[in-house]
Chain A
């Protein structure tokens, strides 16, 4: 993974969608950057295996950097580098606003979120983007038997990349 230039981000999806990674998000954005670039760098070999990500995730809960620094030295470097980043991200700001103390009838950033759809989600073939009726044992959805050999030939990281597109990496363990 190439080093980031100061605190510039790759303009990836850090603020596109809230992901449920409560532990990891305790950190400043740097951590979600790490996670992102590991998960997202599609088609590059320079990526950390997902296991490493799980490590940093656990670490976040303990918030005692020194005791685990050996697990992922890159991580500490990043963290200290990102000290330069003075500003808080939106999530941290929202937390500080203590909206939970307001009566639920008061509209806030949190409770204006659009509720879920009433309609079932569409299903696409992860490989081709076409409609899909089938799901392989590794979690990949596919369009037809023509694609199936590709589906079964994918290694674990590749599978994670594909599932990451629809943020369902946590579904399979």
Chain B
């Protein structure tokens, strides 16, 4: 795709349940803003705790006992009021510094099958609350695929892609995992599969098992998320590793020094050669390191009756026309934050080989940055001539159109992908 210069008139936003990735069309890197309002629990009668909106969370001195309000549930904006508060922060001088909404165009990525109620609520927020001039919305998985393709402009040595512009995009982020086959640029909507497990469920699971086994961490969501990201990994041979963790001393076990909120706000992994001091509070992470990400592969571990990711990929691809299946298995693209677990890609490769007939080639790709891949794809789309052409012909609603036709026009146009 022909890249143009950065276009400050188009704000590109991948508004995720965990974080909002935002920037201007054509930019390479977005700002990543936690999509949450966190509030310290009130300390006494009538005293309200301080609220931290989005990126203000970084300034929080004590991550303990925060309560959270999130606008998004399972990838869909259900709480517009909270979303507006967060977008206000994002558009403020501290982040994007946008005030002249009447001259701007907003490009949002969306999840498939967004309920019409939410589509029209969002249209209202975009046109009536903020007063944007134009509004485009495109499938997040499609954007992620585009982001992966556009990476080759920056890194010509990366794997060449099949010429048919087809892939299965596996987006495993904060609040869900979606599997979306794309054939020749077209999202195969009836073959999309969703699993209601994302990073949030994993963090909560870790928090609960640690609370039952070791320390009460039920109020320490932030900390448990940090520990998850630092210490959990996907096992390549679960049976074998579970035998290893049986032993009192083993190579999987790590010790995590919990924060004292004086020298460290989030704690750290204990180094082998540094002795413990009497004040250190230590959390031992053993089988927890692998059983938590394992939930992505066997959701039944936490009582879900949905299949795990590799099986769901097979379910999705087998529901497409037979002639597409070969090329789809040959380009499985992993995006979203859970892709960052060590061994995640290898494990998917391994499991896919188990489930899929040997006639099919299996190729699994992971972009250089799985968290921002979707945003990059959206940015490069909105920043290219071809993307702009498609946007203006079918993907964009103008304020004038909205005023004429109401939110129905958004429902129509944005349901294509």
Contact = CB atoms under 8 A, between A and B. Distances in A.
Interface of A: 2, 4-5, 7-13, 15-18, 40-44, 86-90, 93-94, 96-97, 105, 107-109, 112-119, 121-122, 124, 127-131, 161-162, 164-168
Interface in B266-296: 286-288, 291, 294
B49 to A, nearest CB: 6
Given A8-B67, A17-B302, A129 B195 contact: no
A90 B205 CA distance: 22
20 contacts: A5-B48, A8-B37, A8-B68, A16-B196, A40-B208, A42-B218, A86-B81, A97-B115, A113-B306, A114-B193, A114-B315, A116-B305, A122-B298, A128-B213, A129-B209, A129-B288, A161-B212, A162-B212, A165-B212, A167-B304
B189 to A, nearest CB: 5
A162 B290 CA distance: 19
Contacts of B303: 17, 166-168
B190 interface: yes
A114 B115 CA distance: 19
Contact of B301 (A16, A109, A122): A122
B73 A107 contact: no
B311 interface: yes
A117 B303 CA distance: 12
B89 interface: no
B241 to A, nearest CB: 11
A10 B215 CA distance: 18
Contacts of B80: 87
Given A13-B201, A16-B201, A42-B208, A87 B67 contact: no
Contacts of A43: 211-212, 215-216, 218
Interface string B84-106: 00000000000000000000000
A168 B218 CA distance: 20
A121 B68 contact: no
A127 to B, nearest CB: 7
Contacts of A9: 67-69
